[in-house]
A and B are shown apart, each in its own frame.
Chain A
Amino acid sequence: GENVEQHPSTLSVQEGDSAVIKCTYSDSASNYFPWYKQELGKGPQLIIDIRSNVGEKKDQRIAVTLNKTAKHFSLHITETQPEDSAVYFCAAAFYNQGGKLIFGQGTELSVKP
């Protein structure tokens, strides 16, 4: 069945360092890969997404890379700041299958000042 594996489950970095979170997916038909950030007491918030016709996408300090052959995608955060501390979720979906996203288990990122 559809499955998304996410690693690591927890990640602690020093302020200014980079953080990398990795996900693999099982359904080769998946073609949309969003990343969400969830802060305490809030719902997940979309921070970046990528579609399967693109290998990399950047938005300021965050970037996502996609390797369709390996069914693997990653989130990269550079120059981390304490406000980046949160739980990050990757997800995979089949384009135009509406709101059905398959989520990874989440990574709790802690950025120490």
Chain B
Amino acid sequence: KAGVTQTPRYLIKTRGQQVTLSCSPISGHRSVSWYQQTPGQGLQFLFEYFSETQRNKGNFPGRFSGRQFSNSRSEMNVSTLELGDSALYLCASSLEGGSGANVLTFGAGSRLTVL
């Protein structure tokens, strides 16, 4: 069974640009969550999508957005990039509801560097 796939793995952008990251969940998983990981702040919850709808949202500015497609694949977008957006962006998928709802399987992440 394939795991969570994130693309691209590494990218470099400059301030003011925008970036789109992609995540393919484990087959059968309908929930996709995004996290930002930085040395100073640790793992911070960005948002969660389920059935193409945002179900939960963290405390990030509106420059951070996401969406989910009918095949459960998800993308997140960061506009007007700032130096502080440099981070590892992690995607995680989980089953719908029940005891599996909180059990997250993470991808390897997309390492974003903003210059």
Contacts of B101 in A (CB 8 A): 95-98
Say whether B33 contacts A45, CB under 8 Å. Answer: no
Picked from A41, A99, A103, A105, the residue with its CB within 8 Å of the CB of B31 is: A99
CB of B63, distance to nearest CB on chain A (Å)? 20
Q: Per DSSP, are chain B's interface residues mostly helix, strand or loop, or mixed?
A: strand
Say whether A100 contacts B48, CB under 8 Å. Answer: yes
| B22-50 interface bits toward A, Cβ cutoff 8 Å, 1 = contact, 0 = none | 00000000011101000000111100101
Contacts of A105 in B (CB 8 A): 42
CB of A71, distance to nearest CB on chain B (Å)? 18
Say whether A29 faces chain B, with CB atoms less than 8 Å apart. no
Picked from A36, A43, A45, A97, the residue with its CB within 8 Å of the CB of B102 is: A97
B interface vs A, CB < 8 Å? 4, 31-33, 35, 42-45, 48, 50, 55-56, 58, 90, 92, 94, 97, 101-109
CA gap between A98 and B103 in the complex, in Å: 8
A interface vs B, CB < 8 Å? 32, 34, 36, 41-46, 49, 89, 91, 93, 95-106
Closest to B9 in A: A41
Q: List 29 A-B contacts (CB under 8 A).
A: A34-B104, A36-B106, A42-B108, A43-B106, A44-B90, A45-B106, A46-B105, A49-B102, A49-B103, A91-B43, A97-B56, A97-B102, A98-B48, A98-B50, A98-B94, A99-B45, A99-B48, A99-B55, A99-B92, A99-B94, A100-B56, A100-B58, A101-B33, A101-B104, A103-B35, A103-B43, A103-B44, A105-B42, A106-B43
Closest to A97 in B: B56
CB of B3, distance to nearest CB on chain A (Å)? 9
- Residue from B50, B90, B104 having most chain A Cβ neighbours under 10 A: B104
CB of B47, distance to nearest CB on chain A (Å)? 9
CB of B51, distance to nearest CB on chain A (Å)? 11
Contacts of A102 in B (CB 8 A): 45
CB of B41, distance to nearest CB on chain A (Å)? 9
CA gap between A73 and B50 in the complex, in Å: 29
Contacts of A103 in B (CB 8 A): 35, 42-44
